[in-house]
Structure formats: structure tokens, C-alpha cells
Amino acid sequence: AQSVTQLDSQVPVFEEAPVELRCNYSSSVSVYLFWYVQYPNQGLQLLLKYLSGSTLVKGINGFEAEFNKSQTSFHLRKPSVHISDTAEYFCAVSESNTDKLIFGTGTRLQVFP
């Protein structure tokens, strides 16, 4: 069965600092990988996705993630965060033929001035 692990439930960081949100997955079949963001009192929005090809994926709002097959990881990074990046971030995996998403437990990014 597929699973997604986000080890950090909360990540506090100061504005303009770099940040990495960790995500590890387990699956016995080919998967697609996603990062979603949920701003306070809003719905889920796709940040970026990995389907195939280049292992470095760039998304919206300056975020990027790198797929590492050997370490089964898909960590999310941003070189310089803003106050507006404060939100809950979810890593997710789906099998290649259904797209139903299995989510991690989420990481709350809190950016301080």
C-alpha cells in the first residue's frame, strides 16, 4: 500500500530565510508526486507535481521540489520565504492510472517577520 510521510508537523522560519519541507513516500508501483498548499480558510491548491522526466520540478510562488527515487523522497524547497507563504503544505502520491491522492499529514509553515 502507498503511504506518505511528512516528518515535520510544524516548521517555523524567519522571512527571507530558505526552507525545506520533507516528504518521503512508499509504493511498489510507479507513482506521481504532488505538493499542495492550503492557505488559512481556503481550499487546496496545487503547487507542483512530478510525473516523469527531470527530477527537479518548479512550481508556483518560487517553490521547487526534487524527486529522489533511491531515497523515495520529494522534498519541497524555497530559497527565500515570505510572510505570505504561511500555510499548511501537503505532500501527496497517486498511482499512475487513477490519480486518487494519498496525502501526508501536512506541515504547517509559519513565517515570522
Partner 1 sequence: GAGVSQSPSNKVTEKGKDVELRCDPISGHTALYWYRQSLGQGLEFLIYFQGNSAPDKSGLPSDRFSAERTGGSVSTLTIQRTQQEDSAVYLCASSLHPGEYKSYEQYFGPGTRLTVT
Specify burial of residue 31 (Cβ count, 10 A radius: 0-12, 13-18, 19+).
buried
- Stretches 18-26, 62-70, 76-84, 96-104: which one binds partner 1 (CB under 8 A)? 96-104
**110 pairs with which residues across the strands?**
12
The three-class DSSP label of residue 45 is strand
43 touches partner 1 by CB under 8 A: yes
20-28, 49-57, 61-69, 71-79 -> range binding partner 1 (CB under 8 A): 49-57
- Please identify which residue in 26, 42, 71, 84 interacts with partner 1, judged by CB under 8 A: 42
HEC string of 86-98? CEEEEEEEEECCC
Which residues form the interface with partner 1 (CB under 8 A)?
A: 32, 42-46, 49, 51-52, 90, 92, 94, 96-106
